[in-house]
Amino acid sequence: MNQKNRRQDYRLNSRETVLLELVSANYDGSSPPELLICNSVDISANGLQISVNQPLERGLILNIAVQLEQMAPITLVTEVKWQFPQQGSDQWMTGLSLLDSDGSGLVAWKQQISERLLQED
């Protein structure tokens, strides 16, 4: 079964700027975070597909920030569910699943996706 057949949510084709926190900063500030900027390919209420320039370990938990148009970035906690290299490119297609976490913007994210879906109808 391919990835599209496993999807449970309607996906919106949407190119948004996504900031991945690969390594967190030290609590004392002695080491800055390791960040990676990439773009989404599509988004849904429970996840997003991104295109990144390096492989990421399946199961990796990442803090991310997504810049939706005309809004402050929404911070989310995600898990890498799958990844495969894009043919003829140095990019990797990556599936992220959203996790419920205190302090994340999950509710705001779901509201924005819902509003976008209503606008498409």
For 51, the domain range is 3-120
The answer, yes or no, to whether residue 64 has pLDDT greater than 70, is yes
For range 99-111, the mean pLDDT: 93
Domain count, the chain: 1
Could you give the 3-state DSSP secondary structure of residue 84? strand
Of 2-6, 57-61, 99-103, 113-117, give the lowest mean pLDDT range: 2-6
pTM: 0.87
Question: Can you tell me the mean pLDDT for 60-82?
Answer: 94
CA–CA distance from 16 to each of 5, 87, 118 (Å)? 23, 22, 19
Report residue 100: phi and psi, to 5°: -80, 125
Which CATH number do you get for residue 116?
A: 2.40.10.220
| Mean per-residue pLDDT, 7-27 | 87
